[in-house]
Copies of this chain bind each other. A is one copy, B any other.
Amino acid sequence: MPRKSSAADAPLRLDNQICFAVYSAAHAFNRVYKPLLDRLGLTYPQYLVMLVLWERDDVPVKDIGERLFLDSGTLTPLLKRLEAAHLVKRTRSSEDERQVLIALTAQGHALKEKARAVPQSILAASDCSVSELVTMKDEIVALRDRLNAVIGE
């Protein structure tokens, strides 16, 4: 029973796992974003929801979920907190009473201007050229989409 490192163990070594690279990079991003988003009064997932809404407003919860790969169990309480912060308004659609439409308030719209400072701070923190980041982003998105394709069988 060898307890020393062996070649057969390489696939199980933490530092060989791309999933851990991604997992730990996501947490690192979170920690860099935290102080920036604190000034906006947002958490990171809330910031993502605001990014979606700043692109297009008055959308059902489901659309936000599809965009962010999140379900109602995550979004419902998060959106209620954004509503409590007076950033969004939740109203049931009159055409389809099952849907809840999410609209930005004036404050929600206004926050977009303050948010413009965030991406440039992140770019600086990543200490990387824009083109390198774009390349990496595209590769990671491609990998994500392949993984998501497997889930749907």
Contact = CB atoms under 8 A, between A and B. Distances in A.
Contacts of A147: 25, 28-29, 31-32, 125-126
Task: Give the dominant DSSP class at A's interface.
Answer: helix
Q: How many copies does the complex hold?
A: 2
A133 interface: yes
A19 B33 contact: yes
Nearest to A150: B125
B22 A22 contact: yes
B128 A69 contact: no
A11 to B, nearest CB: 4
Interface residues of A, number: 61
A128 B139 CA distance: 11
Given A5-B55, A12-B112, A12-B115, A136 B125 contact: no
A119 interface: yes
A23 B48 contact: yes
A140 B140 contact: yes
Interface string A18-39: 1111111111110111000000
B69 A27 contact: yes
